[in-house]
Structure 1
Amino acid sequence: MIPVRTIAMYCFDPRAAGAAQAVAEYFGDEVYPGELLLDETGRKMGSTATVFPLIVGGGRAADALRSITVSQHLFGIERVVVVHHSFCGATSFTAEGITAAWKHEQHTDISSLYDWDGISIADFEQSLNYDVSLIRNSPGTPKHIEIYGLFYDIDSGELTEVVRDVPAEVA
């Protein structure tokens, strides 16, 4: 039994590790990390967690679209939460800068490999709006899914809602 309802997508930065628990608390009806459920032989058969952490560099949506589709198929998720955090390393470079550095260091042109708007973070509000829109407009995202963009303060552990995209029939 896997009662997953919410995907909490956030950065792999260890300082952001509390984001999934913060998302569970933010929505109030979510459970993370939950408890493992064992069968009569002691095998791990499920969990009581309703929040599924999805950890990607910078918490950027482009890296998570396939996982959202798969999670919907397997678990019937209801909500996707994109979390960007304070002092993120993705704010320390630009798409142009990392592309030029990669070409110089690795002698490979990656300029057409990624969507440039989803590589770095220049402005948290802009990046969260972009990522929520990317998820919403993906054919792999069901139209009934609620999508939120939240900012996580790594020092206080507090979340601030920046973007809310909730279909009219859900709101």
Structure 2
Amino acid sequence: MDRFVYSRQPGYDEAATRAAFAGAVPLKTIVIYCYDPRAAAIPVELAKLWVDETYPGDLILDEHGKKVGSTATIFPVVVAGGRATDALRSITIGHHLFGLQNVVVVHHTNCGTSSFTPQGLLDAYRAEQGSDLSDTYGSDNLAIGHLETSLSHDVDVLRRSPAVPAVVKIFGMVFDIDRNEFTLLIPHTTRQRED
């Protein structure tokens, strides 16, 4: 199966491969949102709102019919509750391979992660699975107790992370599931990282 791994090819040149990836996909924005099926419209609706964005876009084929790129400028990262810590690795890799201009953290109304508390989840795992998860996850990242507070926490996590370059603009939005409407709660601000 090594023939499907770029770094295992004869004559592999990491810098050239990275440049080829950057040229094949015009990624501009990563959108982090919940895997709730009701939230599936988020990248489509955001592309309508930000008219210079494209989602889902079209695949680009080479002369042999192989898929070599895409016209999509939005990449979705779909995780429970749209929580930023779960998406951090994808943001880092997205920037490394394609360059990245924006990250939009989207939490949505009536999210399943607002139906429990962090302690309730930890207690349930301990009782039902015999597992202690208290050192596995930060409790601020497990549930949504208040939309604006959780969104502010997640945006702050990304703004302070060395894994997200300072040039990347980070926004926080709430998506109303029933109305298909966004509310921008946290606009981009110029950030300075404390190193």
Question: TM-score, normalized by length of structure 2?
Answer: 0.84
5+ residue gaps, structure 1, are none
Corresponding residue SS for 1:81? strand
- Higher RCO by CA contacts (8 Å cutoff, separation 6 or greater): 1
Q: 1:3 aligns with which of 17, 21, 26?
A: 26
Q: Would you say 1:136 and 2:165 are equivalent positions?
A: no
d(CA) in 2 for partners of 1:13, 1:53:
13
Give every structure 1 segment of 4 or more consecutive aligned residues whose post-TM-superposition deviation is greater than 4 Å.
Answer: none
d(CA) in 2 for partners of 1:62, 1:13:
17
Q: Which amino acid aligns with 2:165?
A: P
Root-mean-square deviation (Å): 1.0
Q: Would you say 1:99 and 2:119 are equivalent positions?
A: no
How far did 1:166 drift? 2.9
Q: 1:34 aligns with which of 39, 57, 62?
A: 57
Q: Could you say which residue in structure 1 is the equivalent of 2:169?
A: 146
Compare 24-33 and 98-107 and name the one that shifted more: 24-33
How far did 1:27 drift? 1.9
5+ residue gaps, structure 2, are 1-23
Provide, for residues 59-80 of structure 1, a one-character-per-residue CA deviation record: whole Å limited to 9, x for no partner: 0001011111111100110000
Q: Would you say 1:109 and 2:132 are equivalent positions?
A: yes
How far did 1:25 drift? 1.9
Corresponding residue SS for 1:165? coil
Q: Which amino acid aligns with 1:25?
A: K
Q: Given that residues 145 and 167 in structure 1 are in contact (C-alpha distance below 8 angstroms), is that contact kept between their aligned partners in structure 2?
A: no
Q: Given that residues 132 and 165 in structure 1 are in contact (C-alpha distance below 8 angstroms), is that contact kept between their aligned partners in structure 2?
A: no
Instruction: Give the number of equivalent residue pairs.
Output: 168
Q: Could you say which residue in structure 2 is the equivalent of 1:84?
A: 107
Provide, for residues 22-58 of structure 1, a one-character-per-residue CA deviation record: whole Å limited to 9, x for no partner: 2222222100001111111111111100000000011
Q: Would you say 1:44 and 2:60 are equivalent positions?
A: no
d(CA) in 1 for partners of 2:178, 2:69:
32
Q: Which amino acid aligns with 2:145?
A: A
Q: Could you say which residue in structure 2 is the equivalent of 1:120?
A: 143
d(CA) in 2 for partners of 1:145, 1:26:
19
How far did 1:82 drift? 0.5
Corresponding residue SS for 2:187? strand
